[in-house]
Structure 1
């Protein structure tokens, strides 16, 4: 049975691979990213995409209008989009922190709230966090804005799971270790991660489809390395 799935951050990396995986299984996908072109070029009948910026308030209404006109309901939301900055804390600016939190925390909150009226009681909201957001995990200097935002979004998801535990949907977080993506390469040039974007996307796909049968309000650490 095909599901209606919304994914953010789909122009490259894990998000781009997820769009392929779900579409190939016959699911309907709404692929959201600031640059819609890579997904627009895929020419799948069951993939829809348009330019969407988590930091632009008006863009959320476009998602509402699409769901109302095309689907009527949503089964899965994957909050995958993320922003990163790698610089020493004393060199970061107010604008750096604002930009990172707007995408990694405020955007997750706003899109989730926007989609909630449409998501089914047995639906699944999966938010992608990072091992850097896990208390007690190894921390990397230069990621004060990024990793702290990823910690914040974990707590947000735990709170949402509690608030909606009697009505659904289910909310879970995947805290990823290092994955070889363009974003990682930009933040840490030359670093080679043990996991490819496609491998991680395959894991996330399966978890999004089935994980809410077993988990709610949980943080799963998806890492075969430190980070």
Structure 2
């Protein structure tokens, strides 16, 4: 059955691959990213690309306008966008923390809040976190802002699953291990991840469409290595 799916962070990496795979499967996609060129160049009629700076909350009003005027409902929201700053803690400024939290936490909360009124029963909100946000997992130095933000959205999703369970809207988190993306290469040049963006997108594709039948308020660790 065709779904209306909102995805953030769609210009590259896992988000771009997800847009491609879900659109090719016949779903209606709203792709949100500052750079809309990659998704526009796919030339698929069922993809709408809106240039969105998630760190600016005012940008989210145009998303609501589109949903109100064109779709009326949203079946799946995938909070995929992420910002990573790799610096020793002693060098991380309050501005760095704010920038990372704006995209990885505040935008997730704000966009979810704006989309929820359009979500019917059996809808699914999937938030992409990181193994770095899991308590007890191996941590990488330099990611104090990023990994702590990824931990915050795990708790946020657990709370929302509780608050919206009577509406039968499911909230789940996928804590990803290392994936070979441009963001990883920028932060850790030369590091070789075990999975490609396309392979990870295959997993998220299935989970976003079906995971809410089996899970709610859960965080799944999508990583082939032990924490």
Spell out the pairing of 1:57-206 with structure 2 (5 A cutoff).
57-206=57-206
Secondary structure of the structure 1 residue equivalent to 2:208:
helix
Cα distance in 2 for partners of 1:217, 1:58 equals 28
Secondary structure of the structure 2 residue equivalent to 1:172:
strand
Cα distance in 1 for partners of 2:73, 2:165 equals 19
Structure 1 residues 200-224: Cα deviation after superposition (integer angstroms, max 9, x where no partner): 0010010000000000000000001
> Do residues 222 (structure 1) and 222 (structure 2) align?
yes
Q: Does the Cα contact within 8 Å between 1:85 and 1:187 map onto a contact in 2? A: yes
> Do residues 38 (structure 1) and 38 (structure 2) align?
yes
Q: Does the Cα contact within 8 Å between 1:194 and 1:225 map onto a contact in 2? A: no
Structure 1 residues 181-203: Cα deviation after superposition (integer angstroms, max 9, x where no partner): 00000000000000000000010
Structure 1 residues 92-149: Cα deviation after superposition (integer angstroms, max 9, x where no partner): 0010000000000000000000000001111000000000000000001000000000
Alpha-carbon distance, 1:225 to partner:
2.2
Cα distance in 1 for partners of 2:94, 2:68 equals 37
Cα distance in 2 for partners of 1:226, 1:31 equals 33
Runs of 4+ in 1 over 4 A off after TM superposition: none
Alpha-carbon distance, 1:42 to partner:
1.2
RMSD: 0.8
Structure 1 residues 35-64: Cα deviation after superposition (integer angstroms, max 9, x where no partner): 111111111010000100111122111011
Secondary structure of the structure 1 residue equivalent to 2:171:
strand
Q: Does the Cα contact within 8 Å between 1:32 and 1:52 map onto a contact in 2? A: yes
Secondary structure of the structure 1 residue equivalent to 2:75:
strand
| Unaligned 5+ runs, structure 2 | none
The aligned length equals 227
Secondary structure of the structure 1 residue equivalent to 2:121:
strand
Alpha-carbon distance, 1:226 to partner:
5.1
Alpha-carbon distance, 1:168 to partner:
2.3
Normalised to the residue count of structure 1, the TM-score between the two structures is 0.99
Cα distance in 2 for partners of 1:88, 1:104 equals 19
Normalised to the residue count of structure 2, the TM-score between the two structures is 0.99
Spell out the pairing of 1:14-33 with structure 2 (5 A cutoff).
14-33=14-33
Q: Does the Cα contact within 8 Å between 2:57 and 2:107 map onto a contact in 1? A: no
